[in-house]
Amino acid sequence: MFGLGGQELLIVLLIVLLIFGGSKLPELARGLGQGMKEFRKAQREENEDDRTG
The tens digit of pLDDT for each residue in 15-44 reads 988 988 888 888 888 998 999 999 999 999
Q: Can you give the pTM of this predicted structure?
A: 0.56
Domain membership of residue 31 as a residue range:
22-53
Terminal Cα distance for the chain, rounded: 32
> Looking at the 3D structure of the chain, how many domains does it have?
1
Statement: residue 53 has pLDDT above 70: no
Statement: residue 1 has pLDDT above 70: no
Please state the separation of Cα 1 from the chain's center in Å: 11
* Inside any domain, residue 41: yes
* Inside any domain, residue 16: no
* Inside any domain, residue 29: yes
* Inside any domain, residue 12: no
* Inside any domain, residue 6: no
* Inside any domain, residue 3: no
